[in-house]
Amino acid sequence: MKQLHLIQLQILRKLLFATSLRYTEMKPDNEMLNNQFDFHLDQIIKEGWVTKTKEGYFLTSSGKEYANRMNTGTATIEKQAKIGAIVCAICERNGKRQYLVYTRLKQPFYGCQGFMSGKIAYGETVIDGAKRELKEETNLDGEPQVFSIRHFRVFDKQTGELLEDKFLYYCLVRNPEGEIVDSAEGKYEWIDEDKIDSHVTNHFESLEVFKRDVEEINSFRGEIRFSEVDHISDKF
């Protein structure tokens, strides 16, 4: 999220609490020089967040969306949690259940294994995002169904620093169609259920967590679960 100069944020904050304002009403400080104020006002007009009519200055739709993320007490833009999808693909082959296991080949969590994940794009539904990520990353097509929602806070094991704050929608895809094509971001393999222990040697959290995910998939009967997890990691 782009962080603006304090004066620009103060202008936006004033406009949040009005339908429109005159030039002098937007000044954070009446003693401020006009050329200084004009510079910062011009910047947020160029961004498309403020516009002017004969009634005065007001926030555009995009300006309202941006300014509404502001902590109005401190005039700073709040950092917010990320939203993503975990795509859990399963299939039945030769009488055995298989799971699509992902080995991550990019930072953070380089080399970690588990179910594939991806970001939900702005304005995109969770289902559409999960379907798109599955296709883009593996070349597989399927119909995702949300079975769990988890709020993860990831902390550094050594320092205790909060590294990530994210809401992840776990989406089950049964019997996707197509042939796997690996992407630059990871390697994808169909793994038999009875070979999970030997294959998943470096899970994002632990093998026990992955096996609990598998149990949750197998017991899913249409009820979506929600949980919050504090994950202490030395793999980030």
Summarised one tens digit per residue, pLDDT across range 121-179 is: 999 999 999 999 999 999 999 999 999 999 999 999 999 999 999 999 999 999 999 99
Token code pair at residue 172: 């089950």
In the predicted model, is pLDDT for residue 74 greater than 80? yes
In the predicted model, is pLDDT for residue 105 greater than 60? yes
In the predicted model, is pLDDT for residue 1 greater than 60? no
d(CA 205, CA 236): 11
- How much is the average pLDDT of 76-102? 93
Q: Does domain 6-77 have CATH number 2.10.60.10?
A: no
Total residue count of the chain as it appears in this document: 236
Element (H, E) at 83: strand 82-93
Average pLDDT value for the chain: 93
- Per-residue b or e along 25-58, where b marks 16 or more CB atoms closer than 10 Å to that residue's CB: ebbbeeeeeeeebeebbebbeeeebbeeeeeebb
In the predicted model, is pLDDT for residue 3 greater than 80? no
DSSP 8-state symbol, 203:
B
Architecture of domain 82-233: Alpha-Beta Complex (3.90)
Scan for tokens 């902390």, then name that residue. 155
- How much is the average pLDDT of 106-112? 93
Going by pLDDT thresholds of 50, 70 and 90, the confidence category of residue 2 is low
> For the chain, which residues make up each domain, given as ranges?
6-77, 82-233
